[in-house]
Chains A and B, each alone.
Chain A
Amino acid sequence: MAMLQVLLNQVKGPLPLKGTFQCRSSDIIDAIVTGVSYRKTGTPNGPAGVNLVITDSTGNTIGEATGRVEGSAIGGWRSMISQWGQMKLNAGETYNFEVRAAFPEVDSSSDNFFTATLVY
């Protein structure tokens, strides 16, 4: 039976969104972040998106999952295409997570909702 750990469940922006969690397993786990993204008005056409970054207590990046979408689409915010990220953590240890803009041009607001989940 799969076990899930929810880091964020429809939490409003703006980005970044940060927190901590205690890992429940030393097996390989997978992470996903979903939500919407868009580029700031006046910036060149290009991708938008966010990164879910997992770091340990020393600040080293242990794992990452991403979401991407066209950043200048007509009508603004678009749901991202999410890429699962795989990582190996240690059971019982506390880790940091952050959902952050993937590019400097990415906009975010309190109208955006993000969900981040770990699958053991």
Chain B
Amino acid sequence: MDIQEIFSQQLTSLPFSTKFTMRSSAGAVLYVAASLTPQSKAGPVGLIVKIDGKQVANPKAFSNEIGSARPLVADLQPIASDFEEHTLTLESANSEGIAGPWDFGAATIFYLGMVDPFIWRFSGALPQSKTFQSRITGDGVLFVAASAFTPKTQMAAIEVLLDGQPVAKTHMKPGIANSHFTFPPLFLPIKLTAKAHTIGLAASAGVATDQNDTFEVAIIY
């Protein structure tokens, strides 16, 4: 798979813009990961990601701590592609999120060919599941990103289930109770059959999720 890194650096101010030239007119997805610092109150923070002024992604998270970098739930979204030069722009989604002293960001394009990916991004309490039609029989690329909170500090995990069977799990031990945190995203192989599958996310025991948590599951063929 052809992967093009657009940028990866410390974010010193927002909005941030950079120019890049796409290198394929086949299907593509944009991956954006970043952190932001809330400046005055607990609440949602996020980025509006634009290509040539049009919104294409919205990585976000809920932050309970002021003045501390909060990793956003990374976003992977389909984009139109060609061989032209474009401008990628990151803007804060609200007045609360700023680029603090130690915030970072990265954007990458995956050129996929002509097979559309399955992308499921949602907010709300787990468990949740969704049916999709696999376009292939063989190995696909599973991407998962998630947030949650725990009533007490403990090891937490979010598990990905394919047709009811666990296929991936991401772990995180938060240092503060009742504070939303972001799990490390995963890129892992997933074995598929060209048929309808049910994919789901479930939280481990003692892990809570609500409308302020964001999740994404994507399968790239």
Q: Which residues of A contact B (CB under 8 A)?
A: 1-4, 6, 9-10, 30, 32, 34-36, 45-47, 66, 68-84, 86, 111-115, 117, 119-120
Contact = CB atoms under 8 A, between A and B. Distances in A.
Given A35-B184, A119-B1, A77 B136 contact: no
Interface of B: 1, 3, 5, 8, 10, 33-35, 37, 65, 67-71, 100-106, 108, 136, 138-141, 155, 169-176, 179, 181-189, 220-221
Contact of B188 (A6, A36, A84): A6
Nearest to A5: B189
A75 B210 CA distance: 20
Contact of A10 (B3, B102, B104, B171): B171
Given A4-B189, A73-B69, A119-B187, A86 B3 contact: yes
Given A3-B139, A81-B35, A115 B188 contact: yes
A2 B136 CA distance: 12
A82 to B, nearest CB: 6
Contacts of B68: 70, 73-75
Given A70-B100, A76-B175, A83 B106 contact: yes
A110 to B, nearest CB: 10
Contact of B185 (A34, A47, A73, A111): A34
Secondary structure call for the A interface? strand
21 contacts: A2-B1, A4-B141, A4-B189, A10-B170, A10-B171, A47-B10, A69-B102, A70-B35, A70-B101, A73-B65, A74-B67, A75-B175, A78-B71, A79-B172, A79-B181, A79-B183, A81-B71, A83-B106, A84-B3, A86-B5, A112-B173
Contacts of B102: 45-47, 69-72
A82 B185 contact: yes
Given A10-B169, A69-B35, A70-B35, A78 B141 contact: no
Contacts of A6: 188-189
A81 B33 contact: yes
B141 A119 contact: yes
Contact of A30 (B3, B104, B186): B3
Contacts of B37: 70
A117 B141 CA distance: 11
A1 B136 contact: yes
Contact of B141 (A2, A74, A79, A83): A2
B63 to A, nearest CB: 10
A81 B103 CA distance: 9
Given A4-B139, A80-B71, A82-B106, A9 B172 contact: no
Given A84-B5, A115-B188, A74 B65 contact: yes
Nearest to A38: B175
A4 B170 contact: no
A60 B3 CA distance: 24
Nearest to A4: B189
Given A36-B184, A81-B71, A120-B1, 9 more contacts: A4-B139, A10-B170, A10-B171, A69-B35, A76-B174, A82-B185, A84-B106, A117-B187, A119-B187
